Structure formats: C-alpha cells, structure tokens
Amino acid sequence: MLKLSRLMSVPAMLAVAASLLATTVGARAQSSIPTIAADDRILGRADAPIAIFEFASLTCSHCAAFATGTLPMVKQEWIATGKAQLIFRDFPLDKLALQAAMLARCASRERYFDMIEALFKDQASWAQMPDPSQALDRIAGMGGLSKDQASTCLNDAKLSDFIVGERLTGSKYYGIEMTPSFFLNDIKAAGEKSYADFKVLLESAALRPRN
C-alpha cells in the first residue's frame, strides 16, 4: 500500500513558499497572461493557435466535472484537430490534491495526462475516502510507478515546493481565485463550463492570435 507522505498543510506551505516567490517562480511570470515554460505538461500540437491554460485542483469536484463532461469534446474538436493545445497548471486546494499532483508529475510525460484523466475520473474513490492509499496506489501504477517510486515521489520536497510555487504564481501573477480557471490565449474565464459555453470562449480566442 502506498504510504502518503506527511507534508505540512498547503496553507503552511504557501506561507513558507511566499518568502521564496521572487527567486523560485517570479522569473517565469513576466505578465498577467501565462506563457509556456519548459516544465509545463502540454497536450496537443506545439504550433496550435489557441493555448488553453487550465488551473485546477485534483480534489476539486467542479474541475472533475469539467474534465469528464466538457474536456472530451474539447479534445476531439479542438486539440486533436490542431486548433488548440492544453497546458495544465496545478492549483492544489489541499494536501491531498498536492500529493496527487506529485504522483502525476512523477509519471512520464507521455503518461501525465492519462494520470490526470484517471485522477479526475476516479476522484470519488480517493479524494473523499478516509484512506485514499489503495486508490492512489492503483492510479500510480497506471502511471508506471512502482510502490517504492510512488513513495519516493511523495517525499520529494523539491517537487512539492515546485507545485506549491505553481499555485502561488497562479494567484499572485494571474489572479486565480477559484478552480477551475482558464486562460484561452488572453481571454480569462473561471468556473466549470459546459462545452457550449467553452466553445464560445474558444471561438473568441481563435480571433485573438497568440503573441
């Protein structure tokens, strides 16, 4: 059984990380609109004209509803056709979301979005359980992680600091206040969206080319 690490609470980690913000995450945030960084996980073609930045927490039920209800159509109609790409940014709302994000990050880049999809699809089986270890064990295995690798991953302080830094960047530089939140090129939107509503945003973004 996967042993969950004893990370401090996310608010406590945010307080510690805030003192390091200028050196750890400030360099990548040059404006109020996110740009792609080398450590981003990206789904879709690199030259897609629309960049969808999603800020989400893996324990957020509205994020899961978007992932399972709206995103499949976005993938089919926009990402698979080369019209858009998705950049997933972690915005963990609690310690469990942080731990799940760490496991996804420890999977290979090729399996990252499969891990995110599985975590959202099976959210009820781990995020709301008194002991999510077995469910996370199974999902970590889907990502190609052995139990020892998963345990090592969850005790990686550098990785946890990085993900908390992602949240700090989202709130401080991009004004993220809720999950899920999105940037579609320079168009900002917040909250769970139906495909019909998200399509309107995508069509608007198509008229506003990326810089």
| Residue 115 scores a pLDDT above 50 | yes
Give me the half-sphere count of Cα atoms (radius 13 Å) on the Cβ side of residue 92: 25
The per-residue pLDDT for range 21-79, each reduced to its tens digit, is: 444 444 444 468 999 999 999 999 999 999 999 999 999 999 999 999 999 999 999 99
Between residues 102 and 124, the one the model is more confident about:
102
Characterize 165-179 residue by residue with b for buried, 16 or more Cβ atoms within 10 angstroms of its Cβ, and e for exposed: bbbbbbeebbebeeb
Distances (CA, A) of 118 to 30, 93, 128, 172, 177: 33, 18, 15, 29, 25
* 8-state DSSP, 7: P
Domains defined along the chain, listed by start: 12-206 (3.40.30.10)
pLDDT at 25 (0 to 100) = 45
Query: How far apart are the C-alpha atoms of 23 and 69, rounded to whole Å?
Result: 38
For the whole model, what pTM was predicted? 0.86
- Answer for the pair 70, 195: CB distance below 8 angstroms, yes or no: yes
